[in-house]
Structure 1
Amino acid sequence: MRHLSRLAALCGVLFAHPVLAAPTWAGAWGYAPADSSAQDPEQPAGTYRYRVRLTQAGDAMQLSFSNAEGDRPLAIAAASIASPSGPLGTDIGGNPVHPIRFSGHLGAAMPRGHTLVSDPVTAPFHAGQDVIVSVTFSTPARPGRTNLGLEMAFAPASTGKPVFTPIQARSYLSLVSVRAAQAPCTVVAFGDSITDGFLALSPQTRGWPGRLAERLAALPPARRCGVVNMGISGNRVLREGRAISALDRFWRDVASVPNVTHVIFLEGINDIGAGGDRGADAVTPEQLVHGYRQFVARAHALGIKVIGGTLTPALHAGYMSPAKEQTRLAVNNSIRNGRIFDGVVDFDAAVRNPAAPSDLRAEYDPGDHLHPNDAGLRAMGNAVDLNLLAPPK
């Protein structure tokens, strides 16, 4: 009995103190890979620099590089991280450079279709911090085109001091994760060009997901979510467009993100616009809703909640028509009322013209009648009800 009393007393001491949760790896930045074409310029062997803004704090960092949709095998000769020397650009000045290793090696092969994950780099990182990631390829590469102003630069291999020139291309860096003492939730922003960041607020913020990250960063620590932007300009839900379909890339661009708890899904306008007005080539509301339900089923199987976004106005965009607009309206009605998703963000209501609801507000329309401008993207980021992103209990 005396031994039992001592054990009970010991248990009382143990349970009187809270058990600290183990650190968690969580996504802090993302850039979904997309295909290149023969029209995209080939780059010689050399070094790419990417400026990324972290949306999650931690005491270590891990990088993923992707050749998932590349047209050739690649070889990484070296990779590193450093702090930028100024508020803009990719220059690192004389700041310390921290080499990145892959299974203990400074370089690694990256065959077509493969993703390469680095060893962790232990150092303190904070939300909102900009980091310059450099990766040197010893092989020529053909990065896919992009219409996004992510700050990046390239320097061809040289025996002298490398000279970096700004470029616009899809990043081979696809995911940045951090080891966080507290990571209540991680949100993947999933969609097409409007999520990708076309006409984005800034190269670092990258559109409405960046604005959402700013809002989340202002919450108490127990409510802060990291945000990973996995939009691809031209992507479709049901079939291959730019990159593989949304349904197929769920596993690559959502399930692979550590600690993912929520997805905000905004996609479908490219399916409608690229289809016909009627007949077999037309995409129907029922087909898109079926695709949405398939996406949600994949997420729910992993315990991930999906918040659906209504499709933003586009009647006078080049690939739209009155018949396609009716499809958009029907899809939005299903999103709002069809119990497809775990919650809804009414992006349509946030940016539409009250006097002409099939059009963007004039102050949000850059002229292509499809992609909201900076002010419109900010309005979209502000439209997300943060209560929808409450950490899992």
Structure 2
Amino acid sequence: MTRRHGYALPAAITAIVAVVVLVSAAIYASTGSDDGRPRATVADGPAPHNSAAPASAGIWVGAWTAAPAGGEPGTEATGLAGRSLRNVIHTSVGGTSARITLSNLYGQQALTLTHATLALADSPDSAAARPGTMRRLTFNGAPTVVVPPGRQTVSDAVRLTVPRGADLLVTTYSPLPSGPVTYHPRARQISYAARGDRAEDPTASAYTERTPYWRYVTALDVMSNESDGTVVAFGDSLTDGLTSTVGADRRWTDVLAERLRTAVAAGRDVPRYSVVNEGISGNRVLTDGRGRPAENPSALNRFGRDVLNRTDVKAVVIDLGVNDILHAPEPTTAPQIVAGLRRLVAQAHARGLRVVGATLMPFGGHYGDSPAREAIRQSVNAQIRAGRVYDAYADFDAALRDPYAPRRLRPAYDSGDHLHPSDAGYRRMAEAFDLTLLKGAARASL
């Protein structure tokens, strides 16, 4: 991927931008911290003149998310000033209106966005917009927004018929340096960039740069009558879909969303939920990454931001613990991991959320495997199966392990590194998930 630190702006343009920034300073009030606390949107108050209130009955639900994981390497000095960043995202549910969340969590100075758009992709994995679907985004009625470092902003709603299982294009343009670009590094999806302000360009001709990252955008909500709420999948690389086919949407969460839609259409008694993915590769229950704010923050530190404050969340599926066993800076015991997982459950229960957990899948043959680490995995799984951690559990271990070598993944489900599943393995994870586990209330205590 080619990176460019920006270019010199002509004096006249610089002056115009300076005026825009001064005007935009008033918009600071529209931004919220990246803990995801509610912000004012069109749904909460009068609609700006160029915005659009929902066209039909429904509720706001999450259609897509990506957890901010760090600052993009190579952008520390100037960000990606002078670039249009076109993110390709994939919806789990359809709706009649949409809004996006943009994050400057890892920025070291204000992020000035002078142009942002939303459109349906003309075809899968394409930077071209479907004719007639390009929408200019506003923020409290203004086309420009300034996002302070460490904070986020939510756009006003726009009317747009968003199909379920569709690719959308979220494009942002910033003319000024902003420091590190907040990104999600292992998107398993190709997005695009172009020089200059091409945010409203419906063609793909200028978008010659390709990137495996999602930049700035962290959520898409839709006004939907297809869903009664959101289920959040919260995990590490196994949820992030690290080894799934790029651009094919074959993470286990993609398949779970597909299964829920099919089951509802068939009249089965399962929840009508959208599914959003809050996996971060390398994530641990107990330990933060480096930096301030921490890159790849621990599950305990990001749970409020990435789960509790997602839009209309009803349930959470947690698949975490393997990295605490394999990659912790010091030996981590099974009781420590279980205690951390139970703290996550307690936070969810305090908000009335049902919690489904997953057993830890085998990693025999992986370079980090050892008898001591296998014993920790087995101990954590025993607590999960005994009902001492979650409200209910999905037994991913039993579904993917090799029956002839249970410390290993079944060969057909192994990507080759003996830790991450193949596409078939990710599908098996979703197929092993009993959809009725998402029903019911949180247990009073564990």
Q: Same fold (TM over 0.5)?
A: yes
After the TM superposition, which parts of structure 1 deviate over 4 Å for at least 4 consecutive aligned residues? 37-42, 158-161
Kept in 2: contact 1:261–1:392 (CA 8 A): no
Map of 2:322 onto structure 1: 269
Partner Cα separation in structure 2 for residue 22 and residue 334 of structure 1: 44
Q: Does 1:250 align with 2:306?
A: no
Map of 1:26 onto structure 2: 61
Q: Report the CA distance between 1:185 and its aligned residue.
A: 3.1
Kept in 2: contact 1:336–1:344 (CA 8 A): yes
Equivalent AA in structure 2 for residue 23 of structure 1: G
Q: 1:341-370 CA deviation, whole Å, 9 max, x = no partner?
A: 111011111111111111111112222111
Equivalent AA in structure 2 for residue 381 of structure 1: A
How many residue pairs match? The answer is 369
Map of 2:280 onto structure 1: 232
Aligned partner (choices 212, 231, 247) of residue 203 of structure 1: 247
Q: 1:43-86 CA deviation, whole Å, 9 max, x = no partner?
A: 44311112222112222111111122345432212111112122
Partner Cα separation in structure 2 for residue 318 and residue 91 of structure 1: 42
Equivalent AA in structure 2 for residue 225 of structure 1: Y
Q: Report the CA distance between 1:22 and its aligned residue.
A: 6.4
Partner Cα separation in structure 2 for residue 179 and residue 392 of structure 1: 24
What SS is found at the alignment partner of 1:178?
Answer: strand
Distance of aligned partners of 1:190 and 1:166 in 2 relative to their CA distance in 1, 3 Å threshold: same
Q: Report the CA distance between 1:138 and its aligned residue.
A: 2.1
Map of 1:155 onto structure 2: 194
Map of 2:156 onto structure 1: 119
Q: Return the TM-score normalized by structure 1.
A: 0.87
Q: 1:129-169 CA deviation, whole Å, 9 max, x = no partner?
A: 22111111223453546233223111122699733321112
Partner Cα separation in structure 2 for residue 327 and residue 366 of structure 1: 23
Equivalent AA in structure 1 for residue 64 of structure 2: W
Distance of aligned partners of 1:282 and 1:338 in 2 relative to their CA distance in 1, 3 Å threshold: farther
Map of 1:173 onto structure 2: 217
What SS is found at the alignment partner of 1:33?
Answer: coil
Deviates more, 1:22-31 or 1:88-97: 88-97
Q: 1:318-338 CA deviation, whole Å, 9 max, x = no partner?
A: 233221111111111111114
Distance of aligned partners of 1:112 and 1:236 in 2 relative to their CA distance in 1, 3 Å threshold: same
What SS is found at the alignment partner of 1:127?
Answer: coil
**1:8-87 alignment runs, 5 A limit:** 23-36=58-71, 38=73, 43-87=80-124
Q: Return the TM-score normalized by structure 2.
A: 0.77
Equivalent AA in structure 1 for residue 101 of structure 2: S
Equivalent AA in structure 2 for residue 150 of structure 1: Q
Kept in 1: contact 2:181–2:215 (CA 8 A): no
Aligned partner (choices 343, 348, 351) of residue 392 of structure 2: 343
What SS is found at the alignment partner of 1:370?
Answer: coil
5+ residue gaps, structure 1: 1-20
Kept in 1: contact 2:61–2:311 (CA 8 A): yes
Deviates more, 1:24-33 or 1:64-73: 64-73
Distance of aligned partners of 1:60 and 1:96 in 2 relative to their CA distance in 1, 3 Å threshold: closer
Partner Cα separation in structure 2 for residue 170 and residue 326 of structure 1: 37
Equivalent AA in structure 1 for residue 253 of structure 2: P
Distance of aligned partners of 1:182 and 1:97 in 2 relative to their CA distance in 1, 3 Å threshold: closer
**1:267-306 alignment runs, 5 A limit:** 267-275=320-328, 281-306=330-355
Q: Report the CA distance between 1:206 and its aligned residue.
A: 4.9
Q: Report the CA distance between 1:286 and its aligned residue.
A: 0.3
Q: 1:221-265 CA deviation, whole Å, 9 max, x = no partner?
A: 673210000000111101103511101111111122111111110
Partner Cα separation in structure 2 for residue 45 and residue 116 of structure 1: 20
Map of 1:134 onto structure 2: 171
Kept in 2: contact 1:148–1:200 (CA 8 A): no
Q: Report the CA distance between 1:96 and its aligned residue.
A: 3.7
Q: 1:84-139 CA deviation, whole Å, 9 max, x = no partner?
A: 12233222264441101111111211222111101011233232222111111223
Distance of aligned partners of 1:271 and 1:40 in 2 relative to their CA distance in 1, 3 Å threshold: farther
Distance of aligned partners of 1:54 and 1:145 in 2 relative to their CA distance in 1, 3 Å threshold: closer
Equivalent AA in structure 2 for residue 236 of structure 1: R
Distance of aligned partners of 1:130 and 1:145 in 2 relative to their CA distance in 1, 3 Å threshold: closer
Partner Cα separation in structure 1 for residue 88 and residue 320 of structure 2: 26
Partner Cα separation in structure 2 for residue 39 and residue 60 of structure 1: 35
Equivalent AA in structure 2 for residue 224 of structure 1: R
Distance of aligned partners of 1:73 and 1:371 in 2 relative to their CA distance in 1, 3 Å threshold: farther
Partner Cα separation in structure 2 for residue 315 and residue 51 of structure 1: 35
What SS is found at the alignment partner of 1:254?
Answer: helix
Distance of aligned partners of 1:329 and 1:39 in 2 relative to their CA distance in 1, 3 Å threshold: farther
Equivalent AA in structure 1 for residue 149 of structure 2: R
Distance of aligned partners of 1:144 and 1:88 in 2 relative to their CA distance in 1, 3 Å threshold: closer
Partner Cα separation in structure 2 for residue 301 and residue 204 of structure 1: 37
| Structure 1 vs Structure 2 CA RMSD | 2.4
Kept in 2: contact 1:53–1:129 (CA 8 A): yes
Identity of aligned residues (%): 36
Equivalent AA in structure 2 for residue 53 of structure 1: H
Q: 1:200-225 CA deviation, whole Å, 9 max, x = no partner?
A: 25525251000101101112267321
Kept in 1: contact 2:104–2:181 (CA 8 A): no
What SS is found at the alignment partner of 1:92?
Answer: coil
Bigger CA radius of gyration: 1
Partner Cα separation in structure 1 for residue 261 and residue 353 of structure 2: 21
Distance of aligned partners of 1:43 and 1:368 in 2 relative to their CA distance in 1, 3 Å threshold: farther
Partner Cα separation in structure 1 for residue 174 and residue 119 of structure 2: 18
